[in-house]
Amino acid sequence: MTTAETSTAVRTVRVPFAGLRSGRWPMPHGQSNVFDWLPHEGSGAVFVGYADLPAGRTVDDVRAAVGVLVSRHEGLRTVYEVGPGVERAQVVTRDGHVDLLLLELGSGAYDRTWISDPPRPFDHGAEFPVRMAVTTDAGVPVRAVFEFSHAVADLVTANLVLDELVGLVASPADRTVGPPVWQPADQAEYERTPQARRRMARTLAYWRQQLHTIPPCLLSVPARREGPPEFRLATLRSGPVAEAIDAVARRTRVTPASVLVTTTATLLSWWTGTELAALEALYSNRALPRMQNFVGSIAQSALVPFSPAPSFHETLRRTHLAIFNAYQYAYFDATAVEESVQSIGSQRGCQRHRDLVINDMSSTRGGVFDGRAGVPVHGTEVESGLDATTTDPVRLTILHTRPTVVVGLTHDVRHVTTDEAAALLWSMERILLTAADRDIDLARLGDLVELDRVVRGPEWVEIDAAWIDITASEQVLRAAAGDPTARIVLRGGPGGSRSLVGYAAPADPRVGPRELHAAVMATLGGRHGAMAPDSYVLCARPPHPPRDEAGWRAQPIRAAGTGR
């Protein structure tokens, strides 16, 4: 037994590294985007990956492998300059030491999946963005457990790093730094070239087109419950559904993941009575040049337009093509995209809601909610009301598509109850088992769905494929104007078009349409179904009674306009 293998409960050893360069560079889009959302994630900004180590190797083998790994990949030895008023930058260290934590756990070494629970946030200005531990049984290394900051790694990167570590532990002959590989610093420099800027311009044009066209809200449904957001998880595990997915995928020539995504979108579209919706699919971006084995955070969202065709199989083909087209525009400067989101949202009168997020983890080792990975299920099991770790109105997480399909549906119970989430998953089973044998006429989809379509009252109207709650919109207008009598009127236009006109007598006489529109947008918050008026008519005082539309039209007009 070597000195490094001396068995203690917890021991830290220092591992030297020596890379090819050091320096300070701007951040590439992937890293910078992470720092935009990192402050809102809490412990979610850190995630854990682990891999079993090959038998017959020593702790010294692991130390040598870690040294080569960190020497090869600059992202593992980088700190970041971030903060208010600071020009964001990545600072790479050429040589030094990293800490490797040895956890002597005996027989427990084979099951350990964490270093600290919950993981500590990283101090990105002072520490490298990965923490490394190895579990041992009587001094023999068993498993590597790494804590990653999202600043350096998405799930694909984490798997790449762990797979490379396992290979280095197994093969001493491969423990050389080797020739330079594409690093985050190289990506940052490339993104400032004319070629990259042209690609980014095309990406922004695609996003603007979709933001102008797709209704901003899929879950424009009467609230199931008032109050703050509350997120729950429903899961489906099924062997028969996995077989059906394979059959449908072969018949329609799409991927198994596309089958699950399309089924979910079709169900929600049918249930909510929405003919056009946006899917936000998390995408690895590994098809980009030089990105297949890139060690850095590059996963982002693809904005996918969804509209059902007359048949289910045709909807599958259409959605599959739309997904892969959207993947071309899934790597971007999030600041520039967010500026478009805000600007177009203000023009349309409602900010975009991320109502259906897709996370396909079936090609990675992601576990998330599945504590029974690999356990076969002969029938179909659905559970609902489970604790959730994500905070989207609806998120479909695909863990496995074979031999047992395992999916999770995270949902906000204000919009989708636990019973409705379970019914959606049971309906998914019925649709896929049927679609494996024949195509489905979507006009008769209700025969296969285990819940009724959403029922909206007379206060709801559909304008340009978007469902709008006029009563909720009116409440927002009143709060923004400081006028409890303000009202919204539905007005017809040429060619059957319709628009919303907001009448108000603002408490502050200096307020014009532009100021009122800004106040309405700020007051909307995350409300589903509420929207700003298309135009405003501001009067000196309200009529009596204030609900009288003709009375509002008879009032002297102080100012009018769209406010845009």
Q: Read off the pLDDT of residues 327-343 as tens digits, 9 standing for 90 and up.
A: 999 999 999 999 999 99
Position 252 in a domain: yes
Same domain, 394 and 493: no
- Last residue in a domain, options 422, 448, 474: 448
- Residue 60: C-alpha distances to residues 95, 102, 138 (Å): 19, 11, 14
- Which pLDDT score is estimated for 333? 94
30 in a domain, yes or no? yes
Query: Do 309 and 383 belong to one domain?
Result: yes
Q: Is the same domain home to 235 and 181?
A: no
What φ, ψ does residue 104 adopt, rounded to 5°?
-85, 110
3-state secondary structure of 485: coil
Whether residue 270 is found in the same domain as residue 379: yes
pLDDT over 70 at 1, yes or no: no
- Based on the fold, state whether residues 422 and 309 are members of the same structural domain: yes
**233-273 per-position pLDDT tens digit:** 999 999 999 999 999 999 999 999 999 999 999 999 999 99
SS3 399: strand
Domain count, the chain: 3
Question: Residue 481: inside a domain, yes or no?
Answer: yes
Helix (H) or strand (E) holding 1: none
Is 53 within a domain? yes
State whether 170 and 288 are in the same domain. no
The separation between CA 68 and the C-alpha centre of its own chain, rounded to angstroms, equals 33
Strands, E, within 19-139: which ranges?
Answer: 23-25, 46-52, 78-81, 89-92, 95-104, 130-137
Among 41-45, 113-117, 160-164, 423-427, the range scoring the smallest mean pLDDT is 41-45
Burial 526-564 (b: 16+ CB within 10 A, else e): ebbbbbbbbbbbbbeebbeebeeeeebeebeeebeeebe
Distance CA 556, CA 419 (A): 52
Average pLDDT of the segment spanning 37-45: 69
pLDDT of residue 363: 78
In a domain, 324, yes or no: yes
Q: Taking residues 451-475, what's their average pLDDT?
A: 95
Tokens in use for 124?
């990105």
- The one-letter amino acid code at 396 reads L
For residues 508, 513, 517, 519, the Cα torsion angle rounded to the nearest 10 degrees is -10
- Judged against a pLDDT cut of 80, whether residue 39 lies above it is answered with no
Coil, helix or strand at residue 459:
coil
Q: CATH no. for residue 309?
A: 3.30.559.30
Over the stretch 51-99, which tens digit does the pLDDT of each residue have? 999 999 999 999 999 999 999 999 999 999 998 999 999 999 999 999 9
- Token output for 339: 């500026």
Whether 129 and 207 share a structural domain: no
| pTM, rounded to two decimals | 0.91
Q: The domain containing residue 536 runs over which residues? A: 460-561
Which CATH number do you get for residue 549? 3.30.300.30
Structure token pair of residue 544? 């009596």
399, 427, 448 — which closes off a domain? Answer: 448
Q: Are both 292 and 440 inside the same structural domain?
A: yes
Question: Is 224 a domain residue?
Answer: no
- Residue 453 within any structural domain of the chain: no
**Same domain for 282 and 179:** no
Two structure tokens written together for 202? 């095309």
What does the alpha-carbon distance between residue 474 and residue 405 come to, in Å, rounded to a whole number? 45
Claim to verify: residue 382 and residue 254 sit in the same structural domain = yes
Q: How far apart are CA 357 and CA 235, in angstroms?
A: 16
121 found inside a domain: yes
Pair (492, 552) in one structural domain = yes
Are 124 and 203 within one domain? Answer: no
Domain CATH for 106: 3.30.559.10
Determine the angle formed by the axes of helices 256-272 and 418-435, rounding to 10 degrees. Answer: 120
Give 98's strand partners: 15
